[in-house]
Structures are given as C-alpha cells and as structure tokens.
Structure 1
Amino acid sequence: MTDTAPRTGPTFHGVTEDGDRRFYIFGDHRLVSCTAVTGVIAKDALLRYAANQAVAAVFEELPAIVIASRIKPCGNTSHRCDHDNTIRCDACACRECKTCIANWLAERHMANTARRADEGTRVHDVIEWWALHGEIKPYDDDIAPYVKAFQAFVVEYGLTPDSFLLSEALVVNRGAGYAGTTDGVIRIYAAASQAAAKLVSRVTGVPWKKAAKLGLTVDLVIDFKTREGEKPRFYPEQALQLTGYRHAPIVRIKNSDEEFPMLPTDGGMLVQLRPDGVTVRLAVTTERTYRRGFLYALGLTKWLIEEGPAAVSAHTFVLPETIAARKRKAAKEAAAAVPAEPAPAAA
C-alpha cells in the first residue's frame, strides 16, 4: 500500500449519530463525518422528492385518506411504543385517523430513503467483495440492476481487483476534525480500453491514443452512487464529499488500529449505478475546492453543532443582576467549602 510503516492510532469506537449527523469516535475525540459536512448544503432535489412521495401516496391510498378525513384524531399519533409492531395496545397510534394518516404521508419519503440506503449498503458490499476476492458474491434480486451496472463499469474500463488500491477505507483528518469512509482508490490504465484511455486523457491532458500507447495511468478517489431513476444526475456536494476523502492525510486499515498516510491521487471520480446503466463523471477535488468548499462547509457544520443552539437560546443574554447574583452565590458556596481553621491552643 505504501513504503511507510504503519503506526497505531487511537482506538476506533465506531460510528454514532446525533439527529441526522454522523460522527466517528476515536478515543476521546468525536470527528464529523464527510456526509454530515455536505449535509449542511440545501438539497432542493430532496425536498421535491419528499413532496412527490407524499403526492404519490395520496393517489395510491385515496379511499383510505377519504375515510380518515372523517375520523377524529386518536391522540396517540406521536406516541412510540417500545413493543413489537405486530402488537397493538391502547397507547398505540391508530394509523387510521386524520392525524395518523397525515403523519404517515409526511413521513412516506423517510421509509423510501431508508430502503434506498439499505440497497446502497448491499451494493457496496458486493463491490468490496469483488475488489478483495475477484468474484461477485450472491446478492438479492432487488439490487440486481445496480450489480449489473457495476459489472458493465468493470468491463468498460478494463478493471481487475488489482485496480483497487484501496477499498472501503476509513480516512481521517484529526487536524481539521473530520473522517469518512471512501469507496476506495482505483488505478485506471489507459491501455485497458478506449474508455479508460479517454478518462486518463481528461485527467492528464495527453491525447487519449497517445496515453494508451504510453501506458499512462491515473489514481482516483472513487465514490459509487446508486440512483433509482433513469438518466444520470450529479450534484456539487458529491464533489465536496470526494474532496474531503482525497485530502484526508490518514487511511485506517479496516477493523484495526493501524494507520497509513493517504495514497497520493490524481483526482476524484463518481460512478453512478442505475437500472438503465452506468455513468462515470470526473469531479473537481482540488486544493481550491478543499479550502473554499469543503472546509467552509465543515466550519459551518461545526458552528451549527457547537454554537448554533446558543445563538438563539433564551439563556444566552443574561441580565447583569442575574450574573451578579450567580457570582455571589458561587462565592458563598466556595467559602462554605473551605474548612474552618482550628482554634488556637490555650496558653
């Protein structure tokens, strides 16, 4: 992987979530995930997706919605019972009244988002297995279109498992305060195929036929994206995510505390897997993008986490009289905590 000997880093305690933000825990440090950083960017497409999911559900369940409009709220809509969903109790939401149905419609996109995330995880598992073992492991029918798209990508660019210099690696930047899991680093050989030669040409500026003849290569940080819809679609925050991975100085070996310097790379690449095919898109992951894009988003994320709540808290601006009273109280408590000096001995 590199000539530099590995060193042992602090113990990795896993990933935790706080609301919709993800953090990587190393020892006593909590590092913001790259996906949490890009999450501060407004995503109009997701808003439209959520609205479209609710509209689709209305038409699918129109009779039930009409009936629900005539049923008074059960009063338990927001209650979450601890027991199994197959069990019903008096505290359970009825799922039939107007309020319950409205809540279900509003959250319809969340169930689909969870489903899509699960599909993406399983697709990535198949890709990682191929990179490590050179074969496609058994997979579920629902992700078959994405696996086939990945196989088409492999063929088009003449890839082998050895093309993966890294696969599903944890990258860490303690100085900046973030971490993330990259899908890997891939070496593209210009001589492998015409598509590979043209990709190398776009990165190096060398005409593609000459690049193939010279046997040029480029190493790219890669991110696989699954997209349920047809036709390719990419977003700027995806480039920022790749940029964070590329500029992290440390790579951590999976399931260990061993760390290496990040591999030098020539850029970043998005590979979108869809039911109708695969699209490869180079992304700008330069030092400028890192400093003017990713680090700005990281700073905003940290501010929102560390200082944002206090910026609008009723307890932030305190009356001077209250501050003075608190100081007097603290002084009294401190004086009371000091043990009394023993009385002088009698002459």
Structure 2
Amino acid sequence: MIFLALSLGTLTSLSFSGFKYKIHVAEVIIPLIFLIILIQSWKMGTKLQLSKAKGMFYLCYFLCFIYSIFTYYWSDLGISVIAGSINLFFGLVTFLLAEYCFKYNPDSFITANRILIISLLIQLALSMFFGVELKPTDLETEYNDFYSFKVTATTLLGDSNYIAFFFGFGLLYEFIAKDKGWILFVIINLLGIMLTISRGAIISIAFAFFVYLYIMLLNSKVKMITKIIIFCNSILLLGSFFFFFQYTEVGITFWNGLLLGLGDSSMNSRQYLWDEAITQITLQPFGIGIVTVNIPHNVILTSIRSLGVLFGTIYLLLLSFPVFYLLKCSISHLSNKRLAALIAYLSVFIHSMVEVFFFDTESIIWSAMIISFIFANSQQLVNQANKEENCQCLNSL
C-alpha cells in the first residue's frame, strides 16, 4: 500500500504566509499505517528492539532531522526550509515503520517494489501513448527529438529522469536476485528505462553491473560453475543489447536519440548548479536548509549545501551505508536477494551524483525502505556467520 501510494505522487497542496507545501499521498497513508501498528503493538505488548548499529543509525538520522529545522534561523530562504525537514521526518517514521514491516517478512519489500514499478509503467503508457496528461508539461516549448520524447514520459510520481531511479533499481535487482517471475519484471524495468531514456540511469546501471561481475568472477568463494553461468548470462545479455541497438529499427532510433541527447546543454547547466552550490557552501558552511531552489543535481553537494559541512557529511554517510556494507560484507554470507539489493542500491547512489534524489518525500521514503530491507537481514547474516565459525571451532576441538 505504501509503495502504491508513492507512485501516486501529490494529493494536494497547502499555502501559508507565502509558503506552499505539497501533501503527497504517501504522507497521508504512512501515518495511518504507523498509528495502526502502534496500537496493535501496544495491545500485544510488543517492544521495539534495536541493535547498537541500528540505534546509532537512527540517532544520527534524528539529529540530521533536528538540525534541518534549526537551519531556519540562519537560512536566507526562510520558512521554505521546513518543507525539507518534514521530508526527513517522514523518512524517520518510515524507518520505524519498516522495523515492524520487515520483522517477520522482509521480502514483502520485493512485492511492494514490483507494485510500484507496474504502477509507474502503466502511468508512462497512459502519458506517452494515450495522451493522458498526468502532470503539467511544457509541450509548447520547442525541443529536439530527444527531449520531445522525454518530455512526455511523465508520471504522477515525477518526470523521466526521476522515475528512472526506480526502474534502474528494479532492473538490477530482478536480474541478480532471480525471484519467481524475474524475467517478466526484468523486461518491465528494461522497458521503463527505454521509455525514460535517462542517460544517468543507463551509465549507473552499467557501472553497478560491472561491479557485480567483478565481485562474482574474482571472488574465490564463488563456485566455478556459478562463475561460468554468470559470465555466459552476461555475454548473452550484452550481445542482446548490441543486436537490439545496432540491427533493429527501434533500437537504432533509441540509440541515435541517446547520442543526440548527450550533445545537449544539460551538463553545462549542471556545472553551473555545482559551481553555485560550492559558492553557497563556502559562504554558509552551516547549511542553507533542505530546499528545492537550484538543487545542484549531486547528492554530495546537495547534502553539504543543505545541512552544512558536519551534518551534511553525516547524512551522506547514512545514505552510503549500503555501499560500505557491500564492500565490507563477505559475499559468501550474502544471498542473491541481499547482494541484488546492494548492487541495485549502488546504481541509485551513483545515479544521484548527476540527478536530484534522496531529498524529496518519495525518494526519502523509498530509500528508507531499501536501507531497512538491507538492515533487516544484516544482523541475521552476521549471526549466521558467527554460528558457522563456532561450528568450525567445535569441530576442530
């Protein structure tokens, strides 16, 4: 229900003293579900138990939330920074909500994410092929063929570059995890990527996929037969892409449009935003608050610009936790599902280096669910590893 609500975007908006805040469907659903779970837990006498790592993580996130409120007192942007603080608040609530959701069934995240992907693809189809205007678009502006196509790729959740994050994550996860029905959802996510024509998504997916190949092929604990299967599947996949883009009419059109898009001025505009963000950080090292004004399309610069050098770095470390976990954890202790989630999240994090993510309500809620999904099994994996080590010690005795 939460992920379906995410796909529906904004419900309405409120205005107060020149301050306008968009109320999202998920912001209505999440408090209701959280309240129901709290009442049920109180009746059953269930207590929330957190490991030290989780407790420290949530404490740091809470401090970032509190600090984002205090930026109001020195930010030139006034009360508009409160909207960003509300976003972090919903992220905090989502983390706590996920503790209960994933306690007994962590894999429910997979079903929920598939519902989100299906909803987005249906909305894309309605927008691009049936002329349904889900969000206002500037169709009167003259674009080249590349952007004429992209501008129609809109959903209630966001435009083409934004929703490409979700399709990119889904594509990598489904391909690596190979849950029941994975082939269908690989196709669905691949179709979504093609319709959005997001260059950032394509590059980040390719980078994360090669990281996956490197991990699997060079890891001594992975069986040789598994390496051969992975290598053959990868060659088959790359060969299919090459054939599609070079020898099919649709693929050639898509590829030419992509190359044309690479020559536009979007990187120049990003460079301007990056330079402006660096200047703002220099002038205000304590942060200007989480706002939507000239967001620098880079998670590092946005974090530090928004929350200052100290708390911006802390928030960035919280977001990059799955990346560090991927590098630290032994692959032999990761199931396909956990490895798939980590690799897929890596693509999202890389993609956020050139696009806006992790600072609006939907992306904060969604990423909180992903991190909680990884967290829900990390302790279990550690316990399993310790158990195996103890068994080996007993056997040696």
TM-score with structure 2 setting the length: 0.28
> Higher relative contact order at CA 8 Å, sep ≥6: structure 1 or structure 2?
2
Structure with the largest fraction of helix: 2
Larger radius of gyration: 1
User: TM-score, normalization: structure 1?
Assistant: 0.31
